[in-house]
Amino acid sequence: MGISTALLFVFVDILGLSVPIATLLTAEASTLLRFLVNHYWVFGLRNPTIRNCIHYHIANAGAFALWWVTANALTLLGLHYLLAGVVAVACSTLFSLSTNFFWIWRKRHPHS
């Protein structure tokens, strides 16, 4: 959060970019940073691949979509929007963890 806030400040106040462009660049830079942190620190791997990075972007987009749909659907069903948001975060977090462990960085076994 600190890095993304600093990046947003640099893009808007120092480089003079518009907020929509700055937030887009901040989101992408933050996504790439989280990808590298996951790759090196969480999964202890070297040599990140473009394939894994693309998969990570797809998984992040899916987690966002799941969060958005869940939060709005639960609100439409009568759940208070703040509680719906918390439930949506839980759902998107489970989705992210699942895609990280079972798709993007799953252990691949050589075929016998």
Confidence (pTM):
0.82
pLDDT digits (tens, 9 = 90+) for 4-41: 899 999 999 999 999 999 999 999 999 999 999 999 99
**CA neighbor of 3 nearest in space, from 43, 32, 42:** 32
**What ranges do the domains of the chain cover?**
1-46, 49-112
pLDDT digits (tens, 9 = 90+) for 55-105: 999 999 999 999 999 999 999 999 999 999 999 999 999 999 999 999 998
**Predicted pLDDT at 98:** 95
> Is residue 93 left, alpha or beta, with left meaning phi > 0 and alpha meaning psi from -120 to 50?
alpha
The answer to whether residues 93 and 68 touch, using CB atoms and an 8 Å cutoff, is no
**Predicted pLDDT at 53:** 96
Give the integer Cα–Cα distance in Å for 90 and 70: 10
**Predicted pLDDT at 112:** 55
